[in-house]
Structure 1
Amino acid sequence: MRTFMLIVSMTTFIFTGCHQQKKSESLVIEMTNPTDRYRNNAGIVIERSQLNNPDSTLLPVLYDNNGKLIVSQLDDIDQDGQWDELAFICNFAPNENRTATLTWVTSEKYPTFKDSIQTSAGKESFKQFTASGDSILQEADSIGLGEIAVYSNKATYPIGKPNYLLISEGPVRRIYGIDRKESKVSAGRIAEMVTIWAGHKGYEKEIALINMPPNTLLLTGIKDNVLNQDTTFRAYEYGYVALMAHTLEKKSYYTGMAIIIPDEYYTRRGYTAYKGLNLWYAELKPNAENKVTFYVYGAKEKDNEGFRSADYFEEFIDYETLYIDNPIEINLVN
């Protein structure tokens, strides 16, 4: 449990301002879409500490301007038995400002929401899902899309056997912890936290290297497909790179795969043979806290005919990168 708690601090939130409450009363949540694009199922997280509710027995419930209940969930990220984060999703028009009202209710009056994430739990199925339930990996025993390997002393090592922990699941998002002991390189550990939002075709992967040798690097990538001999690489001016591939699977339908990486972690890209497969990879350098974050996407033609086009998929990733760089801005007002 302690291993997973080490990566809790990796999650960040955007607040343009916050006026904390002095008692358990309703408050207004002001939300702004800072982009000129429509945003569907935009994920929003508010920390419990930002709400400052003196009555710990009450739970927060959200309503829109029309008094309609907003689907949300409460997540116990550090697994101490108390919720830490309020998570919900909203749709936004370009540059739209929206508000929601937060009220407090007893546990008996807390609403029950129908699950929005249609995915399967378990260590094998974990490698197969995105938030929309799509299978985006074709080789469960390979490094696969978004899987990682250790690069140390000019050699590549597969990471240790994973231990999975379902941290939270609900109608809005699902969070997994993955703990791996690195016996082939050192006695250190690699802890991962994967967050999957409803209505999204990808997930966020946050990684912490614990007691690993200095200068340890990570590799992640996209396996090569003989029907697609190349990948597309994008370097965005606002601080991200993306590695993309558009492949014909089983000669029947196209799948787009991508990895979005913040500049602070990205060092280089290349092509190599690994575990019997050919792999387009990106090399990642942990920050001063020995942590790495990146984003993994998979989109299939059979779910959206537009993804038959490589240009369509690449434009989709361009906009996803824009959204990552421009999260919904939140302001809490009494």
Structure 2
Amino acid sequence: MKKQITFSIFITMLLLTACQERTTQQIIKLTNPSDFDRVDEPIVLARNIFTIKDIPNKNCIVLDKDQRAIPFQLDDLDEDGQWDEMFLLVDLKKKEQIDIIVMWTDQMSNKQFRQRANVRFANKAGDKILNDVNRLRSTDTKLSQAEFQMEGPAWENDVVAFRNYFDARNGIDIYGKRTKEMILHKVGINGQNYHQLDDWGMDILKVGTSLGAGAIAISSGDTLYRVDLPETSTYHLLVNGPLRSVFDLKHHNFKIGDHQLNINHRISIWGGAACYKSSVTIDGLQGNDALVTGIVNLHSDTYIEEKADQYLILATHDIQAEDQAALGMALLAKSKDVIDVSEAPKEGSGIVSTYLLKLKAENNKPTNFYFYAGWATQDKGYTDKSYFMKRLKKDAMRWSRPIIIK
């Protein structure tokens, strides 16, 4: 309460001085075009939307019409030393238009926002955070377990968490969560077994040699290539909360057939979402090369393929979580980007036990898709397939009809 009062006093002082030279404000209008409420809507405001000069020398506060602080962060995604995007999470009722006030000031605010997104990549002991690390070239889980806290980088929000096996398997796994708190700092530390249900949740997915929860591969001709052993493969953190976290998995000189690709797999996650977003940019594509992603089907024999607005939904729903609970998993991609849906073999030396989504890819142009997980142990609604599908369709409509920004 004391912090709230202190911040309220600070805002009052700012408003009293708003007409003076040291404080400048700009009103941004946000309009929800949908016939349903949009909660925790991710809003990205590009730097060039702001008309004020000398932004780098100013501190920022964002308020609603009632002078309540709106959580935000300023992200430097191109790492040129200046932020590129302001990221916010806002609530809008159906067809609602709201004004947000962005105030740039010389005065410093000590306002701290709750951590709702997080990335963690640490050594086995968990006492050293890693960045710009080279991927292991083995496929032996014992080696990755001995090297890294969770076998590789992990990312979470207040709904769900994921991890990447940072070796030649390059699969993606799911941690089901039973808390809104950030938990990755304690997963697998000091004897904690994430394969058993804990107060925070557990590892809920069997990945094997599938693509798991949205890992990537490349299709060229009749061959499907796991992105396993490029010349170099690295992890690089860009942004770590409090509302959105972003990192890159970079693959340099990945050989397919008679040519090589450079692949950047950018992963982002934000508060309130049951998903993460992949943005994959490739250089060196030839002929009919395509991007492929997928959903493991070790415990599901049926997939759902539906169109919703501008998106195609590829989903499964079954008793397929490791705690024997219902688990829904889904990929959402723009229908115009989808080439086809297929199924990998059940066994063999390559990618197996996966429903595959093949996507168009152009050189140096990002291809985007979302991966969703709904675990019934966290939310009993996910026991019902229709509950899961309804949520997916609503998000397909959200991504098809972005918030109007003026």
Say whether 1:292 aligns with 2:292: no
Distance 1:138 1:105 in 2: 50
Quickly say closer, same or farther: Cα 1:111–1:251, change in 2 above 3 A.
closer
Identity of aligned residues (%): 22
Structure 2's unaligned 5+ residue stretches are 1-21, 123-149, 163-173, 175-204
Q: Could you tell me how far 1:299 is from its partner in structure 2?
A: 1.3
Q: Could you tell me how far 1:252 is from its partner in structure 2?
A: 2.2
Q: Looking at CA atoms only, which structure, 1 or 2, has the larger radius of gyration?
A: 2
Q: Could you tell me how far 1:184 is from its partner in structure 2?
A: 2.9
CA deviations over 1:204-231 (Å, ceiling 9, x no partner): 11111112333311111111133x2101
Is residue 252–residue 263 contact of structure 2 (8 Å, CA) maintained in 1? yes
Quickly say closer, same or farther: Cα 1:181–1:118, change in 2 above 3 A.
closer
Q: Could you tell me how far 1:59 is from its partner in structure 2?
A: 3.0
Moved more, 198-207 or 112-121: 112-121
Is residue 118–residue 241 contact of structure 2 (8 Å, CA) maintained in 1? no
Quickly say closer, same or farther: Cα 1:177–1:250, change in 2 above 3 A.
closer
Distance 1:139 1:293 in 2: 22
Q: Could you tell me how far 1:179 is from its partner in structure 2?
A: 0.4
CA deviations over 1:274-293 (Å, ceiling 9, x no partner): 64631111111114754311
Matches within 5 A, 1:301-316: 301-316=376-391
Matches within 5 A, 1:180-329: 180-185=251-256, 186-226=259-299, 228-236=300-308, 238-248=309-319, 249-250=321-322, 252-273=324-345, 275=350, 277-287=352-362, 289-329=364-404
Say whether 1:177 aligns with 2:248: yes
- Residue 88 of structure 2 aligns to a residue whose secondary structure is strand
CA deviations over 1:270-323 (Å, ceiling 9, x no partner): 111264631111111114754311111111111111001111101110111011
Moved more, 298-307 or 265-274: 265-274
Distance 1:290 1:57 in 2: 33
Distance 1:64 1:124 in 2: 42
Distance 1:326 1:210 in 2: 29
Quickly say closer, same or farther: Cα 1:201–1:66, change in 2 above 3 A.
same
Is residue 76–residue 84 contact of structure 1 (8 Å, CA) maintained in 2? yes
Q: TM-score, normalised by structure 2?
A: 0.70
Q: Which amino acid aligns with 1:39?
A: R
- Counterpart residue number, 1:57: 57
Q: Which amino acid aligns with 1:68?
A: R
Quickly say closer, same or farther: Cα 1:82–1:300, change in 2 above 3 A.
same
Quickly say closer, same or farther: Cα 1:134–1:188, change in 2 above 3 A.
closer
Is residue 173–residue 195 contact of structure 1 (8 Å, CA) maintained in 2? yes
Aligned counterpart for 2:238 among listed residues 155, 167, 187: 167
CA deviations over 1:132-165 (Å, ceiling 9, x no partner): 2335353276421211111112101111454111
- Counterpart residue number, 1:14: none
Quickly say closer, same or farther: Cα 1:321–1:184, change in 2 above 3 A.
same
Distance 1:120 1:289 in 2: 28
Total equivalences in the alignment: 308
Distance 1:224 1:158 in 2: 17
- Residue 25 of structure 1 aligns to a residue whose secondary structure is strand
- Residue 40 of structure 2 aligns to a residue whose secondary structure is strand
CA deviations over 1:226-249 (Å, ceiling 9, x no partner): 3x210110023x321110001212
CA deviations over 1:154-211 (Å, ceiling 9, x no partner): 1011114541111112221111111012433133211121121111110111111112
Moved more, 28-37 or 139-148: 139-148
Quickly say closer, same or farther: Cα 1:52–1:112, change in 2 above 3 A.
same
Q: Could you tell me how far 1:24 is from its partner in structure 2?
A: 6.6
Distance 1:85 1:276 in 2: 37
- Counterpart residue number, 2:38: 39
Is residue 118–residue 131 contact of structure 1 (8 Å, CA) maintained in 2? no
Say whether 1:139 aligns with 2:207: yes
Q: Which amino acid aligns with 2:220?
A: S
Distance 1:166 1:46 in 2: 21
- Counterpart residue number, 1:81: 81
Moved more, 241-250 or 105-114: 105-114
Distance 1:294 1:31 in 2: 24
Is residue 130–residue 203 contact of structure 1 (8 Å, CA) maintained in 2? no
Q: Could you tell me how far 1:130 is from its partner in structure 2?
A: 5.5
- Counterpart residue number, 1:99: 99
Distance 1:130 1:215 in 2: 36
Distance 2:114 2:95 in 1: 29
Distance 1:266 1:130 in 2: 28
CA deviations over 1:51-103 (Å, ceiling 9, x no partner): 13212311331011111111100000101121111111011111111111110
